[in-house]
């Protein structure tokens, strides 16, 4: 947690980029997906469809 602009998203995506290896399967559930990352299955939460 932290205030807007404190680097939470940057830190998270940086960590995902470091973990992102061809032999790994990574899935994220986000609201919203802010940046698309190659080889990572990113799913956006949509409360309207469940």
Bridge partners (DSSP) of residue 41 are 27
Bridge partners (DSSP) of residue 30 are 44
H/E segment holding residue 32: none
- Say what the pLDDT of residue 16 is: 97
pTM of the model: 0.77
- Say what the pLDDT of residue 48 is: 86
3-class secondary structure per residue, 8-19: HHHHHHHHHHHH
38 belongs to a structural domain: yes
50 belongs to a structural domain: no
2 belongs to a structural domain: no
22 belongs to a structural domain: yes
40 belongs to a structural domain: yes
Question: What's the CA dihedral at 20, 25, 30, 36 to 10 degrees?
Answer: 50
If one counts the domains in the chain, the total is: 1
pLDDT, tens digit, for every residue of 1-44? 899 999 999 999 999 999 999 999 999 999 999 999 999 999 99
26 belongs to a structural domain: yes
């Amino acid at each position: 947690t932290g205030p807007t602009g404190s680097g939470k998203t940057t830190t998270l995506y940086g960590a995902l980029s470091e973990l992102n290896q061809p032999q790994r399967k990574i899935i994220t559930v986000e609201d919203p997906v802010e940046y698309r990352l190659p080889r990572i299955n990113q799913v956006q939460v949509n409360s309207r469809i469940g």
